[in-house]
Structure 1
Amino acid sequence: MEHLTSGTLNGIWCSIQIPFNQNDTIDFASLQTEINILTNSSLSGLYSNGTAGEFFNQTELEFDQISEMFASSCHQANIPFQIGASHMSPVISLERIKRTKALQPSAFQIIYPDWLTLNYDEQLSFLDGIIEAADPIPVVLYNAGHSKTVLNPCGFKKLSEEFPQLIGIKVVDGGPEWYKEMREMDLEVAVFTPGHRLATGIKEGVSTGSYSNIACLDPEAAQIWYDIILSDIDEGLRIETKVLEFLNKCILPFSKKGYSDAALDKFLWSLSGRDTTDTKLRWPYKGIDREYLGEIRKYGRKILPQFFNI
């Protein structure tokens, strides 16, 4: 698989999610069906073991099995893919890269170690070790808002200048001042902003794409929306308003009740009507009860009909 660069990393990327049996074992047959659905889509690319992939709650044997199945399918379909080698432990993250490097992903995706906050020297040391292990495969830093070490625009600039092998960053966007500062940094890395705010990120001249929560609803609809944003930003922003209305009305109330981001993403996937992934998360985490799916679908068809073609 051809390696990504900061110039070719763009568009809508969707995460695979892990289906679990009732006894908490992985349903690999359903996972393969899910991967087949995604590799036959028009998405820009796929990634494994993000938050929705519950990378934090797998054995290393399971991680290897998932990565091998995923990589084989993506190579066969000739679709770009990133292996999420993230883990709260820097040692385990490093070992995940070493073991899966031979699978030749388009890039590796990693997070900072997540028990202690890293000072700047520790950030450099971690990325230096990760990038050396991954070479020549490039690396993307997934810097979620709930991370222990959250970078500001200046921090992203320093890292991009220090590590040319760092081709992309996943960020949580801010308000007008944050966007202004990001533009002033003139970063030489691809910047991926949240899926539900993609039109704003592109309009502000910062975003090149998204690891998209909205793609969980309907990968094709998310890709069509991205194409609309590029060709008609006003229409793209109008659709973003409806996306935010749907999320605020139907999804964020679950977050306020204490459900995790992984639970929200699995619920979005299940809203599509596909049977390959249930709302269930692996113990001890709780998914959203399936009884809410019918009611939320009704609202979704009214607010965002293009994402509910079921």
Structure 2
Amino acid sequence: MINNQKVKGAGQVPNRKAPSGISGFPVTPLNENGTIDENALARNIEFLLEEGLESIFVACGAGEFHNLSKDEFESVVEIGASVVNGRVPFYTGVGGNLSEAIEKAKVSEKHGADGYLILPPYLIDGEQEGIYEYYKAIIKSTDLNAILYQRGNAVVSKETLEKLVEFPQVVALKDGYGNMELNIEFTQTFGDRLGWLNGMPMAEVTMPAYLPLGFNCYSSAISNYIPHISRKFYDALLADDKQTVNEIYEDVILPINRIRKKRKGYAVALIKAGMEIVGLPVKTTVRPPVVPVEKEHYEELKEILENALEKYQPNKKLIT
């Protein structure tokens, strides 16, 4: 695919502003033979942009980051950069073993990304010194913006974060850990120095708790297939419209979250199922160890979405 995105000029000072609002985390569509469906990826990213999402993150958790080869990763980044084309902040996912993370950071820079989300490394739990050195090596490898992902075996302390914010590339922290005491410590200590992203599973569930702390951005899995409902929810939350927030919780968010928790890997597989149900160009094909959504759960999700789209109608009808 031809890469025609706006390339940042040599010596240009990066925009260090962190993403805000609702961030889109596209899946990586796979054909039935397991190869990447590049046209579907491009169309799905365009759909998110048309729906007004404020930033795009490709090849992250929802994009099956750890299941992409180096060539596939570069292909996804190139396509994403070409489609986004500077319209919103464009980020990638890097992580895993250190040498590969640095290589992917450089690929992201090559294709004009604004930055990257640093996913956790391998299985070993590192000491804070080791986590710091891991982050530092990736951050210093490029001048791109870096977002730290607080989850798994990459949970930083306040003291470690104090050292990491000395690097201007570090623009935000995304929390997928859920320690609210630590989040309060962070936001009170660092304030506006960092952007704060809610990265908890099904982030709409916890966003009312995160918003008062200063978290003004979240990654929305359901935005891949019902972005207008995620938007309506967030607008209601910001407007303190408790009735609308509660209705969307009851009709959409909590029922989908209950299905998501029924099987491991549904954090990815259920997104693809939802996209297929509403008629977006994606198959439910995933790569092991993730498994497709079971038929019973697929039908449950379909009923929820059909009812939701009847009550919260989008600008254009998606159900096929």
Q: Which TM bucket (shorter chain)?
A: 0.7 to 0.9
**Pair 1:288 & 2:293 matched:** yes
Contact 2:26 2:45 in 1 (8 A): yes
Change (3 A) 1:247 1:71: same
Q: Which amino acid in the other structure matches residue 140 of structure 1?
A: I
Contact 2:132 2:160 in 1 (8 A): no
Q: CA deviation at 1:62?
A: 0.9
Contact 1:251 1:264 in 2 (8 A): no
Change (3 A) 1:78 1:180: closer
Give the 5 Å matches for 1:4-83: 4-6=15-17, 8-75=18-85, 78-83=87-92
Contact 1:170 1:211 in 2 (8 A): no
Q: CA deviation at 1:226?
A: 2.6
Change (3 A) 1:242 1:156: farther
Change (3 A) 1:132 1:220: same
Q: CA deviation at 1:306?
A: 2.4
Contact 1:143 1:170 in 2 (8 A): yes
2:264 — aligned with what? 258
Query: 1:129, 1:179 → 2: CA distance?
Result: 25
Q: CA deviation at 1:166?
A: 0.9
| Consecutive unaligned residues in structure 1, runs of 5 or more | none
User: 193-202 or 40-49, which moves further after superposition?
Assistant: 193-202
Change (3 A) 1:192 1:162: same
1:141 — aligned with what? 148
Contact 2:128 2:160 in 1 (8 A): no
**Displacement over 6 Å in runs of 4+:** none
Contact 1:39 1:73 in 2 (8 A): no
Query: Can you list the C-alpha shifts for 1:263-302, whole angstroms capped at 9, x where unaligned?
Result: 233334334x133122221234212035644432323454
Query: 2:246, 2:276 → 1: CA distance?
Result: 21
Superposed CA RMSD in Å reads 2.8
**Pair 1:243 & 2:249 matched:** yes
Contact 2:128 2:156 in 1 (8 A): no
Contact 2:264 2:290 in 1 (8 A): no
Provide the secondary structure at the position in 2 that maps to 1:295: helix
1:274 to 262, 267, 279: 279
2:170 — aligned with what? 166
Query: 2:150, 2:180 → 1: CA distance?
Result: 20
Contact 1:14 1:219 in 2 (8 A): no
Query: 1:306, 1:176 → 2: CA distance?
Result: 32
